[in-house]
């Protein structure tokens, strides 16, 4: 715990309304994932209980007496090739030929050689053998391309980041990197952001499951107050709105959403979209905005009434303040003051919060390999948006992981076990996901043939979403003790 979160304090933990109206008939919102609305009603009869014990492990080559037996599948995943390269790195490299695994294809062999050179360069950098590292990187970049296979795009991004890190260490550049808001950067290209939300299985599953978890906790509530600290397009709340509108008992008297962010225009635009949709459902609705950074919130920003039942939704918000123990501590205490009946949290399931460079490098590159494979499969017919996501969002994430150290690394990620231990100190109790939530997650997974490599597992009471068994997102639900 201490190695992940150095300096975290161990102290006592006791601790302008905007109305929107729109003429529904005249308004069409391209952000609303209409196809998703029909999923549950269309396929409800096909529900199959999710088996939490069923695990999907990536097909990683097995070793017998030190001999590697690669998969016979014609398509080898990017992560699998990366792991082959790491295994080769750990062996006596002098005993290998250019193609140490003759059973894999020539193309996969070339990819593995690129991966091997990249990993070797990182190892050389970690022991300050900069000349050797640069020489190895020189063998990577000319043969890798962002327009080629997922592996070669991964190699390109990591090689560029590692080269920049070496330049900084050698004093060639005195770079004070501008802190980039990854969410803000992606939202600049709304169409790419919507593809990210709607065409990728993990986003859809986390949305449906998270919304169902909130609905489960609001079964008897008539005045509902949803607080969203990163609302983005707001499409996830449409799922919840439909659930509330379909209630036969306990009809909603008022649904209020408070959205927190730094762009007033974007929040107001999202509010208009949501107001329009609520009107089409005849759902009493109110939308408020709070323009603030997470580390500068005040009680007076929120209008929580005694009769309201509050739910909090956090989607990749905690990772942005993980670097500061004080800010994270203050934020969790602030959320508790809102007295929510449920807190739904989605975070990346990868640990880049370790101070050891090579540990962070391997975590990052295996994680990125799975994500690039996911994008390549699910956005195969949408190459423009795939490139935007990789160039804007993932490139900045990789640069932050590789080039920055200590206080420089603002964007950090950690795994559910860390959050579980931390939240326990704030008297937050992990809640079970309902069987309906699990059924819906499994159902969403079946809606697209290209999502067949997405995986759903359970870690304790939390859901882990991955690609070919590699964890990517965690969804957890918490309540006050």
Are 327 and 295 contacting, i.e. CB atoms less than 8 angstroms apart? yes
pLDDT tens digit sequence for 321-341? 998 888 999 999 999 999 999
> How many whole angstroms separate alpha carbon 435 and alpha carbon 37?
20
Q: Is the pLDDT of residue 174 over 60?
A: no
> How many whole angstroms separate alpha carbon 226 and alpha carbon 343?
10
Q: How confident is the model at residue 56 (pLDDT cuts 50, 70, 90)?
A: very low
pLDDT tens digit sequence for 236-256? 999 999 999 999 888 999 999
All domains of the chain, ordered by start, with CATH?
A: 24-54+193-353+410-480 (3.40.50.150), 62-182+355-407 (no CATH)
Q: Which of 145-154, 232-241, 380-389 tops mean pLDDT?
A: 232-241
Q: How confident is the model at residue 184 (pLDDT cuts 50, 70, 90)?
A: low
Rounded to 5°, the CA angle 252-255-259 comes to 165
> How many whole angstroms separate alpha carbon 210 and alpha carbon 121?
41
pLDDT of residue 7: 41
> Which of 43, 369, 118, 192 is closest to 377 using CA atoms?
369
> Which of 138, 108, 134, 109 is closest to 122 using CA atoms?
134
pLDDT tens digit sequence for 72-109? 445 688 999 999 899 888 875 444 444 445 456 777 78
Q: Can you tell me which residue has the tokens 């762009």?
A: 263
């Amino acid at each position: 715990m201490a190695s992940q979160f150095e300096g975290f304090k161990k102290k006592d933990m006791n601790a302008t309304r905007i109305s929107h109206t729109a003429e529904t008939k005249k308004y069409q919102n391209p952000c609303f994932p209409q196809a998703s609305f029909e999923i549950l009603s269309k396929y409800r009869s096909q529900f199959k209980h999710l088996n939490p014990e069923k695990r999907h492990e990536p097909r990683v080559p097995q070793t017998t007496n030190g001999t590697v037996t690669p998969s016979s599948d014609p398509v080898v995943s990017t992560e699998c090739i990366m792991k082959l390269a790491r295994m080769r790195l750990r062996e006596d490299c002098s005993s290998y030929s250019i193609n140490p695994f003759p059973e894999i294809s020539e193309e996969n062999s070339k990819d593995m050689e690129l991966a091997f050179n990249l990993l070797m360069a990182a190892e050389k950098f970690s022991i300050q053998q900069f000349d050797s590292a640069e020489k190895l990187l020189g063998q990577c970049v000319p043969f890798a391309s962002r327009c080629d296979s997922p592996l070669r795009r991964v190699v390109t991004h990591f090689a560029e980041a590692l080269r920049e890190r070496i330049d900084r260490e050698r004093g060639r550049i005195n770079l004070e990197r501008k802190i980039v808001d990854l969410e803000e950067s992606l939202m600049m290209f709304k169409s790419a952001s919507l593809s990210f939300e709607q065409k990728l299985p993990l986003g859809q599953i986390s949305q449906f499951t998270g919304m169902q978890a909130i609905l489960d906790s609001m079964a008897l509530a008539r005045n509902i107050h949803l607080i969203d600290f990163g609302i983005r397009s707001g499409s996830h709340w449409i799922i919840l709105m439909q659930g509330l509108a379909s209630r036969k008992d306990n009809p909603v008297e008022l649904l209020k959403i408070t959205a927190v962010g730094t762009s007033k225009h974007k929040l107001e635009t999202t509010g208009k979209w949501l107001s329009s949709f609520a009107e089409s459902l005849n759902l009493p609705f109110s939308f408020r905005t709070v323009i603030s950074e997470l580390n500068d919130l005040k009680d007076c920003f929120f209008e929580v009434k005694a009769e309201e039942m509050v739910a909090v939704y956090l989607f990749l918000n905690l990772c942005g303040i993980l670097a500061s123990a004080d800010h994270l501590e203050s934020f969790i205490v602030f959320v508790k003051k809102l007295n929510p009946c449920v807190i739904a949290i989605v975070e990346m399931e990868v640990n880049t919060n370790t101070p050891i460079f090579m540990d962070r490098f391997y975590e990052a590159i295996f994680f990125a390999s799975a994500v690039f494979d996911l994008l390549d499969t699910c956005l195969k017919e949408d190459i423009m948006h795939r490139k935007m996501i990789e160039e804007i969002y993932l490139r900045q994430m990789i640069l932050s992981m590789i080039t920055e150290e200590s206080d420089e690394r603002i964007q950090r990620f950690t795994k559910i076990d860390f959050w579980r231990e931390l939240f326990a100190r704030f008297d937050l109790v992990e809640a079970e996901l309902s069987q309906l939530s699990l059924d819906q997650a499994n159902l969403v997974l079946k809606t697209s043939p290209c999502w067949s490599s997405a995986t759903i597992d359970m870690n304790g009471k939390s859901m882990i979403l991955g690609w070919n068994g590699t964890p990517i997102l965690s969804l957890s639900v918490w309540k006050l003790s």
